[in-house]
Structure 1
Amino acid sequence: MDHQGYFRIGYFTKTRGLKGELQLFFDFEDPELLELDSIYVEIDRQLVPFFVGSYRLQANQTGYFFIDDIDHIDQAKNLVHKSIFLPDDRKPVRNDDEFYMEDLKGFEVIESTHGNLGIIEAIDEYPQQYIATVFFNSKQVMFPLSDDFITTVDEEKKELYVSLPEGLIDIYLS
């Protein structure tokens, strides 16, 4: 699903209380840099704008949000598990020397045993780690982007060198 001109910042994980408060888990690494007076919620593959009444950011990549015109848990439940986006023009500018896991999308992956695995098509963030997706031998292969497995990142050539656990790739190929 392509929402050109927008970037994903996270998703609503659950409701909190009876007054329609929602918990948002941030995919975006520095949520305190985001302008959050309005957000776009993906509903039925469309981005729907909502105004934020108030919010509080937490230290664990989450925040608690009250959305204008949503004042009851039953209304808020409809937004749980929905992805949240902001327009690209509200993406914080970062220094040239900053590099995030999401920047690896589009990099070619070279694995120590199997060689070239392909291009990173997607990077998903889970509570404990990032997961990269490539297509190798016409099969979708997913692997963790962990310091334990990454041997080298060549930003100039857009190449990621990894040494994955024995048998991980074979699971996807069988």
Structure 2
Amino acid sequence: MNITESFYIGYISKTRGLKGELQFFFEFEDYRDLEFDVIFVEIEKKLVPFFVDQIKVQNNSTAYVNLEDVDHIDKAQALVRKKVYLPNDKMPVRDPEDFRYSDLVGYEVSDRVEGKLGIVTAVQELPQQHVATVDMEGKELMFPLTEQLIINVGKDDKLLEVDLPEGLVALYREV
């Protein structure tokens, strides 16, 4: 299994207890819909399979996991901060009408006044709102994704039209 045949779901954040239990942190939005019989952990740029004995998914984007052959804290400690993947065939299918802010990655951003700014490279979910990061000629432009700022989302042409506050783009260009 290689990375092109899999998708990233999160990472192992820490150990728990002395018997090798691990805590996962999910960065995959629909983590509750995933099936966990086998996971792949990235170790030295290779995906190593581990069979899941038991998993307890929590409400805060985490899970407590016991893996086969990881039965001691020393074995578990070696996996901390490693990325976790699942095979592409385990990817949950989403309704095409279910559009999310995270789907804006790859969209071109055009401001009402400034014109084309660049491509959305990331969308972060913060407690108060979602924030888009745009690669603007090698500089990062960040702005909140709110109804007040978004004029239109063109799904067909992957264009996000916005009306950013006056001076925001200039501020990022100066940095």
TM score, norm. by length of structure 2:
0.81
1:72-151 counterparts in 2 under 5 A?
72-121=72-121, 123=122, 125=124, 128=127, 132-137=132-137, 139-143=138-142, 146-147=145-146, 150-151=149-150
Q: Distance in 2 between matches of 1:94 and 1:19?
A: 37
Structure 1 unaligned blocks of 5 or more: none
State whether residues 104 and 123 of structure 2, in contact with CA within 8 Å, keep that contact through their aligned partners in structure 1. no
One-letter amino acid matched to 2:61: Q
Moved more, 123-132 or 98-107: 123-132
Q: Distance in 1 between matches of 2:109 and 2:136?
A: 10
State whether residues 133 and 140 of structure 1, in contact with CA within 8 Å, keep that contact through their aligned partners in structure 2. no
State which structure, 1 or 2, has the greater radius of gyration over its C-alpha atoms. 2
Count of matched residue positions in the alignment of Structure 1 and Structure 2: 171
Q: Distance in 2 between matches of 1:28 and 1:110?
A: 28
| Per-residue CA distance 1:142-174 (angstroms, 9 max, x = gap) | 525533675132212211234456547634652
State whether residues 149 and 164 of structure 1, in contact with CA within 8 Å, keep that contact through their aligned partners in structure 2. no
State whether residues 57 and 64 of structure 2, in contact with CA within 8 Å, keep that contact through their aligned partners in structure 1. yes
TM score, norm. by length of structure 1:
0.82
When residues 153 and 4 of structure 1 are mapped into structure 2, their CA distance, relative to the original with a 3 A threshold, is: same
**SS state of the match for residue 120, structure 1?**
strand
When residues 133 and 169 of structure 1 are mapped into structure 2, their CA distance, relative to the original with a 3 A threshold, is: farther
**Aligned CA-pair RMSD:** 2.6
User: What is the percentage of aligned positions where both structures have the same residue?
Assistant: 42
